[in-house]
Amino acid sequence: MNKVGIIGVGQSRFVRGYPGSIRELAFEGFKEAMQDAQISVADIDASIICSAPEYDKQRSPSGVFAEYLGLIPQPTFYLESLCSSTSMGLRMAYSLVKSGLHDIVAVVGFQKMSEISSAESQERMGRGADIQWESPFGTMMPAYYAMFAQAHMKKYGTTLEDLALVRVKSATYGQLNDKALFRKPVSAEMFKDSEHFMSGPVSSPLRVGDCCANADGSSCLIVASEEKAKALGQKPVWILGLGAASASVNMSGRDLFTGLAVARQASEQAYTMAGVRPKDIDVAEVHDCFTVSEIMAYEDLGFAEPGEGKDLIQSKETYKEGRIPVNVDGGLLSKGHPIGATGGSQIRTIVLELRGEAGEMQVKDPEIGLVHNIGGVGLYGVVTILGR
């Protein structure tokens, strides 16, 4: 018995302006995961707390959260890799359990982004880039991804209409997700209406509707050894493949602007470890922080050849009934993006899909699912493959 699985998943609602403290916010995702796993805090050997720093005043939140969640004196760790923190936390939990050092590990992701203003938040995100050579010049996340969009459009003929179709799909499923921040339908016509807020310019060619929103939220994953899962009578979703990569923090160090090298490298690692290929994936969650990000992810993960990602969204092959359903929970574009909680939310969705417990968002009989989670502007890439 040496497999590692996920036996519990949880997530708070993603909202703007959560009224409680960060520890109360973290408790919401943790409570749901513990109820899902049907275990007690005494069963957990260690915890990993994941977030991006500087959105709240608490330093070293792992100890504070472990105390509040009843997880002391067990060891606790703090991990951050920007937007991919919780997926990287799962990688660490897998290692701790696989090594035999721990049997059950809780991975808690959180972010309360409303504690600072939007301008301050953009400045924090900008400092996810190099603070010596890039962020002092005012670079921000939409501008970075606008460069990717411009490059993709120039090389492959991707259009504004293609980008809008990604948001339309996102909203189709965001309406079904009671955890999502945005739950209203979106039409392609909204992007053509100069008076509609969705068409408002952000950083050319990206418009308001092309961008995800900041949010407050938490997520939690309970990771266990095969032996412990069976002893507890659990039916876990197994971690089949893990991949991770990093890239030059400076754009001048990159040689690819129509995709993310870290996603290509991490996915190849995960496919090799799991012994599967892109055609074997039945359902996927990808990091759609911007509409162009989803199209690039199709290509980086091998669901489409370079330049053909737009064909998948045009033909609705990434809808729930399509060849490769993607982001059938609404993705970041509809759910919102509470940085430290995002990866855990993505993983939760795939776990529910593989269990057949996704409700209206359920894909038919999936056996293998994939999660693609990106930190920063392609600085970190994490790909996780799960199987039932």
Q: Supply the residues annotated as catalytic.
A: 83, 337
Which among 323, 336, 244 has a CA at the least distance from the CA of 281? 323
SS3 assignment for the chain? CCCEEEEEEEECCCECCCCCCHHHHHHHHHHHHHHHHCCCHHHCCEEEEECCCCCCCCCCHHHHHHHHCCCCCCCEEEECECECHHHHHHHHHHHHHHCCCCCEEEEEEEEEHHHCCHHHHHHHHHCCCCCCCCHHHCCCHHHHHHHHHHHHHHHHCCCHHHHHHHHHHHHHHHCCCCCCCCCCCCCHHHHHCCCCHHHCEEECCEEHHHECCECEEEEEEEEEEHHHHHHCCCCCEEEEEEEEEECCCCHHHCCCCCCCHHHHHHHHHHHHHHCCCHHHCCEEECCCCEHHHHHHHHHHCCCCCCCCHHHHHHCCCCCCCCCCCECCCCHHHHHCECHHHHHHHHHHHHHHHHHCCCHHHCCCCCCEEEEEEEECCCCEEEEEEEEC
C-beta separation of 207 from 191 below 8 A = yes
What separation, in Å, do the N-terminal and C-terminal C-alpha atoms of the chain show? Answer: 16
